[in-house]
Amino acid sequence: MTVLLLTCRDDFYVPELVADAVRALGHPVLRVDSDLFPGSHTLSIEHNQWHLRAGGVAVDDVTAVWCRRRWPGLGLRVDEQWRWGCAAQGRSLMGAWLRDLGHRVVNAVDAEDAAEDKVLQLRLAGELGFFIPKTLVSNDAERVRAFFHGVHGAGGQVVTKLLAPLVASMKGDAGFFYTAKVVDDDLRFVDDVIHAPQIFQQAIDKELELRVQVIGDDVFVGALAATAQDWRLQKAGAWRPYTLSLETSARCLALVKKLGLVTGAVDLLVDVDGAEWFLEINPAGEWGFLQHELGLPIAQSLARVLTTSA
């Protein structure tokens, strides 16, 4: 029985870590690049039986699937006028297949899609007792102005970020937007927010950025000294070990379970007083840097989940 790693062509290092960990547990593993379906891979259902051919190899005995990157249609080479329609058909069939596999998929498709909802994340995190920055999600310019002036009037600052990613990419290239500070001059253009709702939050006076990777009942944490508005833009500094408070660790585990997930990457901040603040959770967040820099056995934890999920 095969453990399948569903990812994309430009994804390296982490899939190899997980594949090696699965093999070490005595299970066969196959990588499938989702962006090559449709177009190169084939997927069929007949008489209630699914048939996958990836790279010319038939795979009909899937024990478990790790949905690391579910991007069907991204690599299609067809006329531009047909690309969207072909990709939509591929997403539909791949989704049906993964839903049929049920509990063997990490994370379940519908749960992961629902968990991308940033508003839901904030609501559940608040119910669990996380500290949450003051937040406005809106495309109402008048409300954005009032929020900005209210925060600034109290001596604070405002940052903004997107509700959803604009591109499917591992590279952080064109179309990728980072958390940014809102300044007075930005208000000249605030009426444009009518076209695209955004998240606005009071900035936390932060000392550390935390990435908390939950896998099953395991919690792995790395900390980075906060020197940029968005840690993904930092040019210096190294991740270091960090011990979460017992309360925050329990809340991270509970949040993942409430969202119906098996694994998720939680982003937190530690302020100058040592309080831990919730920002968001990414169901398919990156964790390879934590294993690489801190030696955390994240791939091994995921391999155990995958090989016991059938």
> Phi/psi of residue 56, each to 5°?
80, 0
Query: Beta strand 158-161 with 180-182: parallel, antiparallel or unpaired?
Result: antiparallel
Tens-digit pLDDT string for the chain (310 aa): 799 999 999 999 999 999 999 999 999 999 999 999 998 999 999 999 999 999 888 888 899 999 999 999 888 888 888 888 989 999 999 999 999 998 899 999 999 999 999 999 999 999 999 999 999 999 999 999 999 999 999 999 999 999 987 765 555 555 557 788 999 999 999 999 999 999 999 999 999 999 999 999 999 999 999 766 665 655 557 999 999 999 999 999 999 999 999 999 999 999 999 999 999 999 999 999 999 999 999 999 999 999 995 5
CA contacts within 13 A on the Cβ side of 274? 4
CA 285 to chain centre: 3
Report the interhelical angle of 298-307 vs 14-24 (nearest 10°). Answer: 50
Q: What pLDDT, on the 0 to 100 scale, is given for residue 169?
A: 59
Provide CB contacts within 8 A for 61, sequence distance 6+. Answer: 1, 2
- What amino acid occupies position 69? R
DSSP state of 71: -
> Could you give the domains of the chain?
2-106 (3.40.50), 134-202 (3.30.1490), 205-305 (3.30.470.20)
In contact, 219 and 244? CB cutoff 8 Å? yes
Query: In a 3-state reduction of DSSP, which class is residue 33?
Result: strand
pLDDT attached to residue 171: 59
Residue 226: the pLDDT is 77
Q: pTM of the prediction?
A: 0.91
Q: What is residue 57's predicted lDDT score, i.e. its pLDDT?
A: 83
The burial of 67, by beta-carbon neighbours within 10 Å (0-12 exposed, 13-18 middle, 19 or more buried), is given as buried
Of the chain, the end-to-end C-alpha distance in Å amounts to 10
pLDDT at 273: 96
Q: Please tell me the predicted confidence (pLDDT) of residue 277.
A: 98
| pLDDT score of 167 | 61
